[in-house]
Amino acid sequence: MRKFCKPKALESFVRGLKARRKTIGFVPTMGFLHEGHLALVRRAQKENDAVVVSIFVNPLQFGPKEDYRRYPRDLRRDEAILRKAGVDCLFAPEVKALYPGSFQTEVRVRRLSTPLCGKSRPGHFAGVATVVLKLLHLVAPGRIYLGQKDYQQFKVIERLTADLNLPVKVRMCPIIRESDGLAMSSRNVTLEAPARREARVLYQALLKTGSLIRGGERDARRVQKALETALKAAHGARVDYAELVDAETLLPVVKLRQGSRVLAAVAVYFDKTRLIDNLLIRV
């Protein structure tokens, strides 16, 4: 596995791949890798000649009061995991390599960035869009792989690439879960043991929502209330949001139309740790 910290070195490696007409699959991450990331890597390996993984905890997508400093990091462990997984190239730049003092460009995907996580994390998706666009220019992949856990992020990047005519296919991979259903996340390690046990409430509440709708409930407000109530039952859970939105626009749905696709999406704090999860439901 090749490892680069400098953009220039990565670009020259990528030029080499292009010259040999290799297709490139790209998996952007913030590191502290888990099975969710590895599922993205394996899918990328299946569909491309070469796979590039980036590890970069992007300060631009953290608010001033968020957990940028606390975000878990272990580059040496991540490197070993990727090497073992047969990844071709790891790009792990330092902050100042991507954001020198002269940096002043911002990329926003307006409407899709506003609801859900956008409401409680203003600027978050502008930070995501900006760094992913930079990485897409550096890696120049034919396909980029994103996890469904960050569904809104996927929609933002999908829209970004379409709006800006970027020649890349955006692929979404299913959520990978712990044995009790908790969606895998690098932030899970920051949960204290009691909170970790309670945290399975996110997936359980989402499953109940799915059952309700499959059972014939069509009043979105009632479904949303049930979802919120289920979450609040967990000890120490502070619900940031619990919503039922259109899977394309991410706007709230009022009536659940037969045949439509909706997203049940939740964000819940346990102490300082904010967890998210979601479920796509065909009504």
**Which of 144, 104, 279 has its CA nearest to residue 202?**
279
Ramachandran region of residue 181, left (φ > 0), alpha (ψ -120 to 50) or beta? left
Q: Which residues pair with 263 in a beta bridge?
A: 245, 280
CB of 181 to a copy of itself, least distance (A): 34
CB of 169 to a copy of itself, least distance (A): 14
CA distances from 194 to 190, 199, 273 (A): 12, 9, 13
Spell out, one character per residue from 28 to 67, where the chain touches a copy of itself: x when CB under 8 A holds, - when not: ----------------------------------------
> If you write DSSP's letter for every residue of 123-172 in order, what string do you get?
THHHHHHHHHHHHHHHH--SEEEEEGGGHHHHHHHHHHHHHTT---EEEE
Q: In terms of C-beta density within 10 A (0-12 exposed, 13-18 middle, 19 or more buried), how is residue 142 classed? A: middle
Can residue 155 be called a binding residue for a copy of itself (CB under 8 A)? no
Nearer residue to a copy of itself within complex by CB, 133 or 280: 133
| Gap between the Cα atoms of 190 and 255, Å rounded | 38
CB of 44 to a copy of itself, least distance (A): 21
CB of 165 to a copy of itself, least distance (A): 4
Q: Which of 3, 22, 108, 232 binds a copy of itself (CB under 8 A)?
A: 108
Q: Furthest-apart CA pair in the chain: how many Å?
A: 57
* Cα 271 → chain centroid: 21
| Gap between the Cα atoms of 223 and 201, Å rounded | 16
Can residue 94 be called a binding residue for a copy of itself (CB under 8 A)? no
Q: Which of 1, 9, 85, 166 binds a copy of itself (CB under 8 A)?
A: 166
Can residue 12 be called a binding residue for a copy of itself (CB under 8 A)? no
Strands (E) in 157-260, as ranges, are 169-173, 237-246
Nearer residue to a copy of itself within complex by CB, 159 or 200: 159
Can residue 110 be called a binding residue for a copy of itself (CB under 8 A)? yes
Q: Which of 159, 187, 200, 274 binds a copy of itself (CB under 8 A)?
A: 159
Query: Annotated catalytic residue: which of 34, 37, 124, 235?
Result: 37
Size of the site for a copy of itself (CB under 8 A): 26
Nearer residue to a copy of itself within complex by CB, 107 or 206: 107
Q: Which of 137, 225, 235, 282 binds a copy of itself (CB under 8 A)?
A: 137
Q: Which residues pair with 35 in a beta bridge?
A: none
The reply to whether 34 belongs to the active site is: no
Q: Which of 165, 215, 216, 258 binds a copy of itself (CB under 8 A)?
A: 165
Q: What is the 3-state secondary structure (H, E, C) of 11-36?
A: HHHHHHHHHCCCCEEEEEECCCCCHH
Which residues are marked as active site? 37
Chain positions contacting a copy of itself, by CB under 8 A: 7, 11, 102-112, 129, 133-134, 137-138, 159-160, 162-167
